[in-house]
Amino acid sequence: MKTFYGTHLPNPLMLGTAQYPSPAILERAFRESGAGVAAVSLRRESGAGQTFWQMIRELGVLILPNTAGCHTVKEAVTTAHMAREVFETPWIKLELIGHTDSLQPDVFQLVEAARILTEDGFQVFPYTTDDLIVGERLLEAGCEVLMPWGAPIGSGRGLNNEYALRAMRVEFPDVPLVIDAGIGLPSHAAHAMELGYDAVLLNTAVARAGDPQMMARAMARAIEAGMLAHQADPIEPRDMAEPSTPVIGKAFLS
């Protein structure tokens, strides 16, 4: 498995911490999935922040703070600085939202913010589209990880553009690639791993499932299955049947 800015992950699942029915269920989902990375955010302190921080620390996982909801470079950069201080990590999941309904990243501002933050010592995990040229620009800006969307955040639609995601894998063979957003089912996560992606970041699919703990387990197993399948060098699909049982030696009975 590739490293993320020099860090080995225990497994390829990065799990968000939002929208769970309760903190206890969040904790169980993490334990059940074995996820090694927790996505977190910053919001105005209303008293709940310190309890949440304590719980996340006790999970013993790596912390990936995000800049969710930021629409400008300045906003994202300021948020990243605040996150680095609060969470004591140079990692930042850089989100720069360009469209309110689809939450599609504003890739132009994303590249600019990635450059500023990299120069400032951050290790940027950019939430991006599946556009190859944007990917190249992000790498030029100093990113060592790319996180293309599978589908819009929270939509649960899976991998909307398999062709583009395949192309991205081929174009950037040595770059850790993470499918971030859009996963709804374990089969989607397995699909991402079968394509050779290095990790999957998901949240809603687990947190909003009827049984988040069980879904967390299902996701972890699907991700492992997909990863093993990719490593096992799967067969190519073909149009016509090819008998798997040997033809030679069949008894002549007609």
Residue 91 DSSP class: E
Question: What's the gap between Cα 53 and its chain centre?
Answer: 22
State how beta strands 62-65 and 147-148 pair. unpaired
Instruction: Give the pair of three-digit tokens for residue 19.
Output: 């929208």
CA 146 to chain centre: 9
Q: Judged by CB, which is closer to another protein: 95, or 198?
A: 95
Euclidean distance between CA atoms 166 and 156, whole angstroms: 19
Least distance between another protein and beta carbon 74 (Å): 7
Given the complex with another protein, which of 52 and 172 has the nearer CB atom? Answer: 52
- The residues with which 89 forms a beta bridge, in sequence order, are none
Shortest Å distance, C-beta 235 to another protein:
35
Strand order in the sheet with 13-16: 13-16, 199-202, 178-180
Binding site for another protein (CB under 8 A): 16-20, 26, 39-45, 48-50, 52-53, 56, 65-66, 68, 74-75, 78, 81-83, 85-87, 153, 201, 203-204, 207
The CB-of-15 to another protein minimum distance in angstroms stands at 9
Task: Name the catalytic one among 2, 74, 93, 250.
Answer: 93
Burial 122-131 (b: 16+ CB within 10 A, else e): bbbbbbbbbb
Residue 145 or 169: which CB sits closer to another protein?
A: 145
Identify whether 93 is a catalytic site residue: yes
Phi, psi angles (nearest 5°) of residue 5: 50, 45
Q: How far is the CB of 95 from another protein (least distance, A)?
A: 10
Q: Which C-beta is closer to another protein: that of 70 or that of 107? A: 70
Q: What angle do CA 67, 40, 24 make, to 5 degrees?
A: 155
Catalytic residues: 93
